[in-house]
Structure formats: C-alpha cells, structure tokens
Amino acid sequence: MYFTSSLASFLPPPYEGQLYHQPKGYLVGLASNEGTVFSFPHQLIMYHSQPMYTQIYRLPFSGCRQIRVESTAQVLRQVLDILDPSISNPKVDPDTIFDVLSIADRYEISAVRDWFQEAAITSRTNYLTGVKTKCILQSHPLLVLRCCIHFKLIPLLYDAAEMVIGYHTSLLNADLDIPERWGLWIHNEKQKRGRIYARFVDQINSHWGPTDPSISCTGPCYLHECHGARSRWIVALERAGRDTPCWKSFRQAYWNAPSACSACRVHFPTDCYNLYCTWKKQARSMEHELAERFRDGCLPS
C-alpha cells in the first residue's frame, strides 16, 4: 500500500526513469537502489527520521524533491508499510527483517525498532480459521537473536537467548551467523542446563532402580512391574533435558507419560510429584538468574 498526502495510502511508484513530481509540496520521493520511487509525506519523515529530513531540508524547493535511500525496493516498501498508520499488521518477510532493521538503524527510525520488538513476541489469531500463528521469536529464534545482538535490542535479547538455549540441539549445528562469543556462550549454557536436567532423571532412577526401555508393557501388572512404560517415560525425559534443556520442554515430557496396557494403572508422574516440585523451583531459579544477569548488563563478552 502506498501513502498519499492524506496518509491513507501510497501513490503508485512511477516506472524506472520516469520524472517524479511532488504535488503541492506535501510528498517527497524516496528512491531505492533500483530506481523505484515511493511517495512519502514529508511530515512523517520529519517525525520518524531526523537524518532523512535533514537530507530533504538541503534539497532545492523547486522541481523534483527526491532523496536516495540505500536499500532495495522490497526492503524500502516494507519499512514504509511499518510506518503507515493505516496498516495495523504490516507483512514483513523474515528473510528481509535484518535489512529492514539495518535501514532503521542507519536512518534512526525508532518506530521500526519498536515494531520489531513488539511483533517478535506477539502471536496473532486468524479469526476465520481460529488458528493462532507463531510469533517471530517462536518461528525464527536464531534470526531474532542475531538482530538483537547486532542492533542492541536489549529488552528482547533475554527472551531470544532463552528461546535459543531451549532450541533443539540439531537445529543449532548450522551457522548461527552471530558473534563467536555468543555461539560459545549458548553452547556452554545448554550443556550446563543439560547436566542439571540429567540429575533430575538420575533421581528418578535412584527412586525406582534401573529400567530397560526395550521391555514392553504386556499387563496385567502392578506399578512396580510396569517397567516398559516407565522406561519409555524416562527416556523421553532424558531426551528433553539433553536436546531442549528448558523447563517448558521438560515439564511437557514429564506429564506426557506413555500409555500402558489397559490393565495397568501407571501413576509414576504423580508418584514423583515431590521431586517434580523441587525440580520446578531449581529450574525457575536458574532461568530467573539468567534474566537477572541480562537485566544487570552481564552479557557474554
């Protein structure tokens, strides 16, 4: 959508090479690297971007008033969509979010930074289908972490780091495209948390003794004889603590106990509830400690 002088929409950009004329002095041309020109109200430029407005102020008042923005047309269009007050939910391609924030950083457009910090943690619901879509942080945590580190988005940095720490290990083997110290810190933090969750599982094994996941539950049997279902449950806990070391993942694996035979009455999650409450306090304390470190500015260095 394009702005007009009434801020409701844009004027269609002229073809490449076509002379751009500013009607009645209300609009100014923003030209991309490809030569595509977008019409934009100079009042909004003055409000959102001091560097852009400074360039416009130095232009002659007669003829075409147009400034060159070091950006592709796609990225520039998405930046202007974010600034358009008539667009409540601008569509921004995740592949270009970093470039959009780069333009915002170069021209000091704080509204784009504010939009990203809100959109990264906001999930939206399709009212026609009732399906709730994931927010940017949930669907692209590595991208959000990279943006937070590069553009120093401290309020969002902790949430991104916490999400990446709990990300599946296999998905972190790819190039993170973040500073090396951050990659090393994430690796060490995941290992430290993995050891803590491994101790939780060891406490279960010490409570019941070793189990063999290859044993199947064939019932009828009693709780102490139902080794197969309990073994599969413990293996799921070990996997959650190793691959996705966060309390949310471990809690989900804890209560998703595998089903046994119809004659069995398996209650091992309930029987370990006292241990579960202790683990919950330790895990929450560990995550709270990390939040305090970020809040105090103790970032990886």
Domains defined for the chain, CATH in brackets:
23-119 (3.30.710.10), 192-282 (no CATH)
The predicted-structure confidence for 70-96, as pLDDT tens digits, reads as follows 889 999 889 988 888 778 888 899 999
pLDDT given for residue 19 in this prediction:
31
Query: DSSP readout, 44-103?
Result: HHHHH-HHHHHHHHTS-SSS--EEE-SS-HHHHHHHHHHH-TT-SS----GGGHHHHHHH
Long-range contacts, stretch 206-212, CB < 8 angstroms, 24+ apart: 207/272, 207/275, 208/268
φ and ψ at residue 27, rounded to 5 degrees: -115, 155
Name the one residue in this structure whose structure tokens are 């973040």: 178
Q: pLDDT of 136-184, one tens digit each?
A: 888 888 899 999 999 989 888 888 888 888 887 666 655 567 788 888 8
Instruction: Quote the pLDDT of residue 270.
Output: 75
Residue whose token pair is 């993942």:
249
Note whether 219 and 260 are within 8 A (CB): yes
Q: What is the pLDDT of residue 208?
A: 67
The stretches in the chain having pLDDT less than 50 are 1-25, 63, 222-224, 262-263
**What is the per-residue pLDDT for 97?**
94
CA-wise closest residue to 32 among 81, 85, 75, 88: 75
Instruction: Provide the token pair at 286.
Output: 């560990």
Task: Write down the pTM of the prediction.
Answer: 0.74
